[in-house]
Chains A and B, each alone.
Chain A
Amino acid sequence: MTEDKNSFAHDRSPYERPNFPFRCGREAAFGKPCPRGPSAGGDCQGISDCTPFRTRKIVTNAETGEETEIQRWECRRPQHAGGPCAEGPRPDGTCSCIHPPCAPKPTIRRQRGRWAMLAVAAMVAMALAFVGAAGGIIGPKPDADGILSHVGWPSSVNPGPLSGKHEQFTAKDGCISCHVGHSDTLTGWAGALFERTTISESCVSCHSFGEKQADADPKAQSPMAFAAHNTKFPNRTDAPTATCTGCHTEHKGVDASITPMEDGQCSACHTTKFDSFSKSHPAFGANFPHESARTIKFPHGKHLETHFVDQRYIDKAPKNGCVSCHTDQVDGRLLPGSFENGCAACHELAIKEQGMVVFGLPELSDPELTAEARDSCGFPVPQLEPARATLEALAEALPTMQALGENAESGNLNGVMTAVEALGEAQAAIAEAQDELAEAVDMSEAVSLDSLSPIAAFLLAVPADDADEYSEAAAAFLIAAAAEGQAPLAEAIDAKGGDATALLAGLSPELVTEVTCAWAANTEYEPKQDPEPGAGWTAQELQVSYLPTGHADAVTKEWIALGLANRGSDDEGAEAFADLVLSAGDGPGRCFKCHVAPAADAEKQVVQWAIPRVDVRPFTAFNHDPHLNVLDQGAGCATCHRQLEPGATLADGQSRPGPHANDFKPIDQATCKDCHRPGGVRQDCALCHRYHSNPSIRKRTM
Chain B
Amino acid sequence: MIVRTVNSVRPFGYTLAAIGAAVIAGLAYYSHQEHLKLSDATFVTGWVLLTAMVSLALFNIRKRLSMMPMGRAAYWLALHVVVGLFAVGMFIVHTGGIWATGFYEQVMAGLFWATALSGVFGWLYQRAMPRRLTRIGYEVVYERIPAEIAALREEAEEAALEGVGASGEPTLGRFYSETMQDFFRRPRFMISHLLGAGAAQQWVDLRFRTVRGLVGAQEEPALARLEAAARRKLSIDAHYAIQRSLKLWVAVHVVLSAAMLTLAVWHLILVHVYAR
Contact = CB atoms under 8 A, between A and B. Distances in A.
B144 A13 contact: yes
A417 to B, nearest CB: 124
Contacts of B40: 245-246
A410 B268 CA distance: 148
Interface in A64-90: none
B197 interface: no
B251 A112 contact: yes
B258 A119 contact: yes
B137 A33 contact: no
Residue of B103, B142, B270, B276 with highest tally of chain A CB at under 10 A: B103
B259 interface: yes
Contacts of A119: 255-256, 258-259, 262
B270 A267 contact: no
B185 interface: yes
Contacts of B134: 2
A268 B262 contact: no
Interface residues of B, number: 54
**Dominant SS at the A interface?**
loop
Nearest to A32: B150
A123 B263 contact: yes
B141 A123 contact: no
Contact of A192 (B38, B250, B256, B273): B273
A268 B39 CA distance: 11
B163 to A, nearest CB: 22
Interface in A19-43: 19-20, 23, 27-33
B101 interface: yes
A78 to B, nearest CB: 14
A196 B38 CA distance: 19
Nearest to B232: A3
Contacts of A252: 101
Contact of A267 (B35, B36, B185, B244): B36
Interface string B5-37: 000000000000000000000000000100111
B120 interface: no
Contacts of B186: 29-30
B165 interface: no
Contact of A115 (B139, B146, B154, B255): B255
Contacts of B269: 193
B107 interface: yes
Residue of A116, A123, A124, A197 with highest tally of chain B CB at under 10 A: A123
Interface string A113-157: 001111110111011001000000000000000000000001111
Nearest to A191: B273
A111 B141 CA distance: 19
A159 B150 CA distance: 55
B101 A1 contact: no
Interface in B249-276: 250-251, 254-259, 262-263, 266, 269-270, 272-276
Interface in B203-262: 244, 247-248, 250-251, 254-259, 262
Residue of B137, B185, B254 with highest tally of chain A CB at under 10 A: B254
A247 B137 CA distance: 63
A161 interface: yes
A156 B266 CA distance: 9
B104 A175 contact: no
A246 B255 contact: no
Contacts of B199: none
B274 A175 contact: yes
Contacts of B185: 30
B221 to A, nearest CB: 20
Given A30-B185, A123-B262, A156-B104, A17 B38 contact: no
B258 A116 contact: yes
A240 interface: yes
Contacts of B102: 155, 158-161, 251
**Dominant SS at the B interface?**
helix
Interface in B128-167: 134, 137-139, 141-144, 146-151, 154
B73 interface: no
Interface string B33-50: 001111110000000000
A189 B273 contact: yes
A115 B144 contact: no
Contacts of A321: none
B146 A31 contact: yes
A197 B274 CA distance: 9
B184 to A, nearest CB: 9
Nearest to B240: A30
B1 to A, nearest CB: 15
Contacts of A155: 102-104
Contact of B105 (A29, A108, A160, A189): A160
Contact of B138 (A2, A160, A251): A2
A197 B276 contact: yes
Contact of B36 (A29, A193, A268): A268
A110 B17 CA distance: 33
B144 to A, nearest CB: 6
Nearest to B96: A249
Given A119-B262, A126-B104, A159 B270 contact: yes
Interface string A172-193: 0001000101100000010011
Contacts of B270: 157, 159
B101 A112 contact: no
A262 B254 CA distance: 41
A33 B150 contact: yes
A33 B186 CA distance: 14
A559 to B, nearest CB: 52
A116 B115 CA distance: 13
A18 B103 contact: no
A275 interface: no
A8 B141 contact: yes
Contact of A158 (B103, B151, B247, B262): B103
14 contacts: A2-B139, A3-B137, A4-B139, A8-B141, A16-B141, A28-B146, A33-B150, A115-B255, A154-B103, A159-B101, A159-B105, A159-B270, A161-B101, A192-B273
In order of increasing CB-CB distance, the 8 nearest A-B pairs are: A160-B101, A154-B103, A246-B38, A160-B102, A119-B259, A112-B251, A123-B262, A116-B258
Given A119-B256, A157-B104, 20 more contacts: A3-B137, A13-B144, A18-B142, A27-B146, A29-B146, A108-B248, A112-B251, A116-B254, A116-B255, A119-B262, A126-B104, A155-B102, A156-B104, A158-B104, A160-B101, A161-B102, A193-B269, A240-B38, A264-B36, A265-B36
